């Protein structure tokens, strides 16, 4: 008969998981940075990039979106930020005149050019993704992602 793990082992496991989770998350963002494609710029000169587009069921597509702000930008989430990265799921299915954002799983905002992540958030649904308050890049990103094979 197997003995249950000791409280010390449980505590070490939990500590390891709590420390490792943020490291893995930052690693995931860095991994997505390997294949960024510049898709254009906003009216304000902010560069818009896309990475890791993947198709899912029912016309859904997931991609990493990165916006490099020309000048540090104050956003509703705080700031000033020099960069925004988000893992976004778009609904690209037919029957909708304009594809829409279904899910923004993760958002990361940076205050320095070194990529230091200072603010992150999770949300299930965000109709305001990339609207004017965040730089006006949403339609450009959506159109690019939905046209990918």
Number of domains, the chain: 1
Give the model's confidence band at 103: pLDDT under 50 very low, under 70 low, under 90 confident, else very high. low
Q: Which residues pair with 90 in a beta bridge?
A: 61, 101
Find out whether 85 and 68 touch, Cβ atoms under 8 Å: no
Residue 18: what pLDDT? 46
Instruction: Tell me the per-residue pLDDT of 31-55, one tens digit each, with 9 for 90 and over.
Output: 445 689 999 999 889 999 999 988 8
Q: Is residue 18 part of a domain?
A: no
Domain that holds residue 57: 36-147
Q: Is residue 47 part of a domain?
A: yes
3-state secondary structure of 10: helix
Find which of 14-18, 30-34, 43-47, 98-102 is predicted with most confidence, using mean pLDDT. Answer: 43-47
Q: Is residue 75 part of a domain?
A: yes
Q: Is residue 11 part of a domain?
A: no
Q: Is residue 88 part of a domain?
A: yes
- Beta carbons within 10 angstroms of residue 6's beta carbon: 9
Find which of 100-109, 113-122, 136-145 is predicted with most confidence, using mean pLDDT. Answer: 136-145
Rounded CA gap, 1 and 4, in Å? 10
Q: Is residue 50 part of a domain?
A: yes
Instruction: Tell me the per-residue pLDDT of 116-133, one tens digit each, with 9 for 90 and over.
Output: 777 776 766 666 677 777
Q: Is residue 2 part of a domain?
A: no
* CA dist list (Å): 108 to 7, 13, 25, 113, 147: 35, 27, 10, 13, 25
Q: Between 14 and 76, whose confidence is greater?
A: 76
Q: Is residue 73 part of a domain?
A: yes
Rg over alpha carbons for the chain, rounded to the nearest Å, is: 18
Rounded CA gap, 29 and 13, in Å? 24
């Amino acid at each position: 008969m197997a003995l249950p793990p000791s409280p010390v082992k449980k505590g070490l496991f939990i500590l390891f998981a709590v420390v490792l989770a943020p490291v893995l998350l930052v690693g995931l963002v860095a991994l997505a940075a390997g294949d960024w494609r510049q898709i254009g710029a906003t009216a304000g000169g902010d560069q818009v990039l896309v990475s890791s587009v993947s198709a899912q069921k029912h016309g859904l597509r997931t991609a990493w979106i990165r916006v490099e702000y020309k000048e540090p930008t104050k956003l509703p989430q705080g700031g000033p930020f020099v960069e925004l990265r988000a893992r976004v799921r778009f609904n690209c299915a037919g029957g909708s005149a304009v594809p829409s954002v279904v899910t923004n799983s993760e958002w990361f905002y940076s205050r320095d050019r070194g990529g230091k992540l200072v603010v992150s958030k999770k949300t299930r649904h965000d109709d305001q993704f990339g609207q004017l308050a965040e730089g006006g890049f949403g339609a450009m990103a959506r159109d690019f992602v939905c046209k990918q094979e």
